[in-house]
Every structure is written in C-alpha cells, then in structure tokens.
Structure 1
Amino acid sequence: MKKILVVLALGLFSFEGNAQVIVDGVDINKMDELQYVELVGQTRFINLTKIKVFVDYGQDFSWRQQTIKDESGERSSFNSMVDALNFMYANGWEFEQLSHR
C-alpha cells in the first residue's frame, strides 16, 4: 500500500511541475510578478457549444494574442467558463472575483 501511495505522490508532483498556461507564447505560471489575470469568455460563432477564453494579464492588447494555447500552439477551447476556471485551478490559480459586463 505504501508503494502505491509513493507512486501516486510522485505522479502528482510531476503533474504540478508540468503545469502550463500559455498565452501569446508566454507561460504565465512562470511569471513571478504576476498575481492576477482576467478571463473573458466569448461564444464561438461556428461552434456554439464551445467558448473562446481570452486572458488579460497586463500585456499589450490584441484579441488574437490573448487566447490560451496548448503545448502544440493550438488555441484551447472550453465547454464553459466553469471549464476554463477548472483548467486555471488545475494549473495553480485561485478564483478571486466575478464581474458582469
């Protein structure tokens, strides 16, 4: 039993080490000075069941460059804002505040 727990613990530590949130080619998890980001969701016109999530962390403004991308450089799509929040939480971020515009 202890061996299984050790293997699981090592697996969790390796997962934490690989956590990445890439926005405009920048892994924002590695930016020590970064404390807050804003997530903005937008329904996709082609696929209404998915949303695009834009991330504002204080960088120069460009809608195209504010999307979250995966390791292969493809834009990540989410089922809902809650899906995006769960993704951010899995990558070490905490929810702070909700606002409507």
Structure 2
Amino acid sequence: MTKKILIFSILFLTGISIFSQTVNDIPVAQIDVEYIQIVGTSRLFSNKVTIEIDFGQQSKFFSSGNETQVKDADGKILKLNSMIDALNFMSLNGYTFVQAYAFAVEGQNVYHYLMKKRE
C-alpha cells in the first residue's frame, strides 16, 4: 500500500512541475499556437544552454528578454541541461519536433528548433 502511495505522490508532483512552467506568464502546455520555436544559446564555460520560446508573442520595446524564457512556478528561469532536454520538455507539453538549425554568434552556438503542437 505504501508503495502505491509513493508512486502516486511522485507522479502527482511530477505532473505539477511539468505544467507549472510558463512563458510570458502563459503555461507552456496552454500556449495556443500551432508552431513554436525553441532558441537555445550555449553558455560560456558551461554545458548548459539558455532556452527561449518564441510563439509569436509580442515583446516589450525595452525588455530584458525574460518574457521569452521558461519560468518555473516560483518565477525563476528554468535551467535546462541541453537542447535535447528542451525537446523532451516541449514533448511533455504537447509538441513534436519539425526541424533544427544552428549557427554561431560571437563565438556562441545558437540553436533553433521548430516544434509543432500535436493534435
């Protein structure tokens, strides 16, 4: 019995953490567009990437860029380990991979992944 409660608790907490991430104050799973683009920028002296989600949202003229970054339930920027981590995250939120390309900007790799919402 306690094993079932433990498994249920883990699944419940995982479900909460999956659906509590937001972009521009919109829960990722509830973004109502057909296509999104993940833009990942490699960090200096780190294996991690900074992830931004572009779904066509309007940006403020003098913004810090934070409205395109994925935030957790506490409003902190979500740190993902790699672009594959970002792909898996978006897959859990109802998107499927379409296409990718990358290029370098000032010595940093910038990855662009196009995703489509699953029907």
What is the TM-score with the length of structure 2 in the denominator? Answer: 0.61
Does the residue aligned with 2:46 lie in a helix, a strand or coil?
coil
Does the residue aligned with 2:34 lie in a helix, a strand or coil?
coil
**Counterpart residue identity of residue 38, structure 2:** L
1:53 to 48, 51, 65: 51
**Counterpart residue identity of residue 29, structure 2:** N
In 1: Cα distance, 2:13 partner to 2:75 partner: 22
Partner residue in 1 for 2:30: 30
Residue segments in structure 2 that go unaligned for 5+ positions in a row? 103-119
The 5-angstrom pairing of residues 70-85 of structure 1 reads 70-85=72-87
Does the residue aligned with 2:96 lie in a helix, a strand or coil?
coil
Partner residue in 2 for 1:21: 21
Aligned length: 97
| Structure 1 contact 55–67 (Cα < 8 Å) conserved | yes
Partner residue in 2 for 1:96: 97
**Quick one: percent identity of the two aligned structures?**
24
Q: Summarize the Cα distance change of 1:82–1:64 in structure 2 as closer, same or farther, 3 Å threshold.
A: same
- By relative contact order (CA 8 Å, sep 6+), the higher-ranking structure is 2
Does the residue aligned with 1:88 lie in a helix, a strand or coil?
helix
What is the TM-score with the length of structure 1 in the denominator? Answer: 0.70
Q: Summarize the Cα distance change of 1:75–1:13 in structure 2 as closer, same or farther, 3 Å threshold.
A: closer
**Post-superposition shift, 1:39?**
0.2
Residue segments in structure 1 that go unaligned for 5+ positions in a row? none
**Post-superposition shift, 1:14?**
7.7
**Post-superposition shift, 1:36?**
1.7
RMSD after superposition: 2.7
